[in-house]
Every structure is written in structure tokens, then in C-alpha cells.
Amino acid sequence: MKRIVPLLAFLTAFPALSTDMYLPAIPMLVEQWNQPLVVVNLTLIAFFASFCTFIAVYGPLSDRYGRRPLLLAGITIYIGASIGCALSPSVYTLIAARIGQGAGAASAQTLALAIIRDKFDGLERGRILAHMVGIMAVAPMLGPVFGGWMLKWRHWPWLFVSQACLGVIGFIGVYFMEESLKDPIKVSALQVFARYGVVFKNGRFMKLNVLMSLFGLPFFGFIASSSYLYIKVFGLTEQQFGYFFAFTSGGFMLGPMVLNRLANHMSYNKIIGIGLSGVTLGGLALAFNSHATPWHLALPIFLFVFSFGVFRPAATNMALEQVTTDVGSASSMLVFLYSMVGAVGMWMISLEWPDKMTVLGSLAAGIGILSLIFWFLSSGNYEIGGELPLEAPAED
């Protein structure tokens, strides 16, 4: 496997590490600062809102100035903001520092995707994406476990100190990385943002982008509500919550492994259909069970994230296959829309629903059914390495 893949997976894991390590501390902060859950959850929502905003900045600029300089700048911001989070005396200063964290983390995820598109093609890119997602899934598996154990021995600011240290490791890796962009676009800094028009006109790319992004509603909704559901509703400790979260996240690591196996025997079109069927079944299982024990949440979510782990890398590769120019802008658009929808999912699940688990299951099942209908009608228009990908319009 290419040596750069572990570094790219590590960079892509920054948003997950920044969120999942911190999840066990949310109920603690609700009590410490005497704030309602909806206010403390703004530390999650603010991170993703900032993350989404700056994704739209890094991608186009990287098409002009290169991936490496933008990565170094973003990781520097991330390190400084993580220290700011650790020193926050109130929920409102923590929200402000989390905005900075999101701004820095945005560079890591979107530019890692652009580097993969720069360096790899077709089915090889699909294998690289699947391996990267599998490695990246370790973050949501171990993040809450590490966070829960750290809270047992240290106060919550140490969570953010450890994130700053991880940022330093990422900075060193990128510093010694070669630039992947060989042919930067020759336009001004302001004109690069107009290149989003090229991406919006690419219909096949945008349809797949919307399809993948809609699943951010239940996926990030679960992440935002998981500590509340496991700790407050089911009465688990922070450490037990970490173990259950690691179990369900394991499905997200297993999914890409299965994807690589399936890709040797069937087309990506069929694999995407299988993944969409799985997320739909997981949503139905969550919506229509008794919710009597933690396993009534963990098992349906495991099926959902496993199937999502099969579907999303395949669909991402299929979407990138539709792009021949403005790769940075397209990569930004992929991550931007998915994360923005995810931020909406976090906000939605923070509302006073009588049964949050039924809401999550209904979202997953409903989006899954609609996506299956779309894919049944449209899958023939997509192919990896064939003649069907839509060429981006030429530069004026």
C-alpha cells in the first residue's frame, strides 16, 4: 500500500478525533456549567459549521497554490485552536475556540481527498479510498474510549491538549510530504472561487454528492446524541459508553474491508445498491424496536454504519470519476455538503424529541428508501473507468 495513505487517513480523521474524543465530556459540561444540552451541543454544531465554511475556501485555493501550503496553514490553525479549547473558562469561549478548530480541520479532510484524486485513478483510487476509510474508522472507535478513560484520570481540557499534540504530528508529516498538484490553474485568488460554477454544472457529480450527503442527517445525529442516549437514557458510565461507541464504529471500519472484497467480484453499481439496502434495513431496525437496552441501539446502528462504510467510499470514488478538472473545488464540495447536512442533523437531534432513537431510525430508513429509488433509476449512467463520466467544461 502506498506510503502516503496512512498520513492521508490520519489527516482525514482530524474531524472525527476532534468530535469523538470529546463526546464523553458533554454530559459533564452540562452539569459543570449548568447549561442545557442544546447549548453545550453548540460546541459540536459550531465546529461543523466552521468546518463546512472553510472547506469551501481550502479546495479552490489549493487548485491555485497547491495542496501542501494550505494543509500546513490549516493544521497550524487547528493546533492553536485546540490549545484555546483547553483553556476555555465557559461554554461560550469553548464554542468560539471550536470554531477555530473546525476552520483548521477543514484543510486536512478536503485536501487529503484532493491528493488522492491527484495521485490515483479509477479502481486503484477506489481501493485507496476504502483502505483510507478503514484506517480512518479507528478514530471514532478509539476516540470515545480514550476520552472516557482520560476523563477518569484527568480533567476535560486534557482532551484538547492531546488533540493539539496530534496536530503537531500531522504538521510534521505534511512538512515532509511532496506537493501532489502538478498543474495549478492560472487564475487569480478571487477567480478560483468562480470555479465552483464548473462543479455545479457537473450533473452526475452533484447528484451523487447530494445522495451521499443526505445520510449525514442520521449519521451525525447519532454522533451528537450518542453520549446522551447511552449515559443519560441507558445509565451507562463514560467508559461503558466508549466501549459501545467503539463497537458501533467498528462497523464503519469493517465496511470498507468488505467493499474491497466485493469489488473483486461485482461492479461498483451493485455494491452501492447493496450498501443502500443495508443502511435502509438498519434504519428500520432502529425505528421499530423496543429501545429497551443499549443493544437495541447499538446493533441497528452497527448495521447502518457498516453498510454506510460499504456504500460511501464506493460512491465517493464514483463521484470523483466524474471530475477531470477543478479537483480541489470538487473535493471541497463533497466534504462541504456532507458536513453541512451533518451539522443540521446535530441540530435536529438536539431538539426535545420524545424518542430520539425513533427519529434517527426514521431518518435513516426514509433517506435510504429514496436513495434506493434514485439509484435503481440512475445507476446505469455511472461507471468506473468507462466512457460515461461527464467531462468538466473546459476553461474559458
Give the CATH number for residue 78. Answer: 1.20.1250.20
58-80: per-residue pLDDT in tens?
888 888 889 999 999 999 999 99
Q: 200: domain range?
A: 4-381
Q: In sequence order, what are the residues at sequence separation of 6 or more whose Cβ sits closer than 8 angstroms to the Cβ of residue 253?
A: 134, 137, 138, 141, 309
78-119: per-residue pLDDT in tens?
999 999 999 999 999 999 999 999 999 999 888 888 888 888
Is residue 348 a part of any domain in this protein?
yes
305-326: per-residue pLDDT in tens?
999 989 888 888 888 888 877 7
Is residue 388 a part of any domain in this protein?
no
What is the average per-residue pLDDT within 155-163?
92
Residue burial 130-140, b: 16+ Cβ < 10 Å; e: rest:
bbbbbbbbbbb
CA distance 3 to 351: 44
Is residue 393 a part of any domain in this protein?
no
Cell of 132: 483510507
Q: What is the CA radius of gyration of the chain?
A: 20
Is residue 57 a part of any domain in this protein?
yes
Is residue 59 a part of any domain in this protein?
yes
Whether 164 shows a pLDDT value over 50: the answer reads yes
Label residue 389 by pLDDT band (50, 70, 90): very low
Is residue 387 a part of any domain in this protein?
no
Whether 346 shows a pLDDT value over 80: the answer reads yes
Domains identified in the chain, total number: 1
pLDDT, residue 124, reads 78
The answer to whether the beta carbons of residues 180 and 128 sit under 8 Å apart is no
Label residue 340 by pLDDT band (50, 70, 90): confident
Is residue 78 a part of any domain in this protein?
yes
pLDDT, residue 388, reads 37
Is residue 390 a part of any domain in this protein?
no
pLDDT, residue 175, reads 93
Label residue 257 by pLDDT band (50, 70, 90): confident
